[in-house]
Amino acid sequence: MNCNEVVREIPPYCYGEVSPAIEETLEAHLADCPACTRELAKHRKFLTRMDERAEMPDTGMLASCRTDLRTAISRVPAPVATNWLESFRNLWQLNIPFRVPVGAMALVALGFFAARVTPERFGGMKAGLSEPMFSNVRSVEPDASGQVRISVDEVHRRMVSGALGDANIQQLLLEAAREENNPGVRVESIGLLKNNVDSEEVRNALLDALTRDQNPGVRLKALEGLRPYAGNKDVRKTLASVLVKDENAGVRVQAIDLLTTHRDDSIVGALQNALQYEDNTYVRAQCERLLAEMKASVGTY
Partner 1 sequence: MLEAVEVLSARMAQTESQTDEAGLIRAAQKGDQDAFERLVRSYDHSVLRVAMNLLRSPDEARDVYQEAFLKVYRNLHTFRFDCSFHTWLYRIVTNICLDHLRRRKVRREESTVVETSEGVVDRMSQLEEGAPHADPERQMWNRQLGGKIDQALESLTPRERAVFELRHYEGLRLRAIGEMIGTTEEAAKNCLFRATQKMRASLEAFV
104 binds partner 1, rule: CB under 8 A: no
87 binds partner 1 (CB under 8 A): no
Among 31, 50, 137, 144, binds partner 1 (CB under 8 A): 50
* C-alpha to C-alpha distance for 37 and 40, rounded to whole angstroms: 5
CA–CA gap between residue 124 and residue 110 (Å, rounded): 17
Choose the stretch contacting partner 1; rule: CB under 8 A; options: 83-91, 98-106, 185-193, 254-262: 83-91
**Residue 110 touching Zn ion (CB under 5 A):** no
Q: How many residues bind partner 1 (CB under 8 A)?
A: 48
Least distance between partner 1 and beta carbon 55 (Å)? 4
Residue 244 binds which entry of Zn ion, partner 1, none, CB below 5-8 Å type-dependent: partner 1
| By the rule CB under 8 A, 142 interacts with partner 1 | no
Instruction: Give the distance between the most distant pair of CA atoms in the chain.
Output: 85
Under the binding rule (CB under 8 A), the answer on residue 52 touching partner 1 is: yes
The span of 79-87, 107-115, 166-174, 220-228 binding partner 1 (CB under 8 A) equals 79-87
For residue 16, what is the enclosing H or E element?
none
Name residues whose C-beta falls within 8 Å of residue 32's C-beta, 6 or more positions apart in sequence.
Answer: none
**Which one of the spans 44-52, 125-133, 160-168, 195-203 is the region binding partner 1 (CB under 8 A)?**
44-52
Q: Is 33 exposed, middle or buried (0-12, 13-18, 19+ CB in 10 A)?
A: middle
| Burial label, 88 (beta-carbon count in 10 A; 0-12, 13-18, 19+) | buried
Cβ atoms of 35 and 2 within 8 Å: the answer is no
CB 240 within 8 A of CB 270: yes
Spatial separation of the C-alpha atoms in residues 66 and 59, rounded to whole Å: 11
In sequence order, what are the residues at sequence separation of 6 or more whose Cβ sits closer than 8 angstroms to the Cβ of residue 290? 256, 259, 260, 271
- Looking at 41-49, 112-120, 156-164, 170-178, which segment touches partner 1 (CB under 8 A)? 41-49
Which positions lie near partner 1, rule CB under 8 A? Answer: 8, 11-12, 15, 17, 42-43, 45-47, 49-57, 61-62, 64-66, 68-70, 72-73, 76, 78-81, 86, 89-90, 93-94, 181, 214, 244-245, 247, 273, 276-277, 279
Which positions lie near Zn ion, rule CB under 5 A? Answer: 3, 33, 36
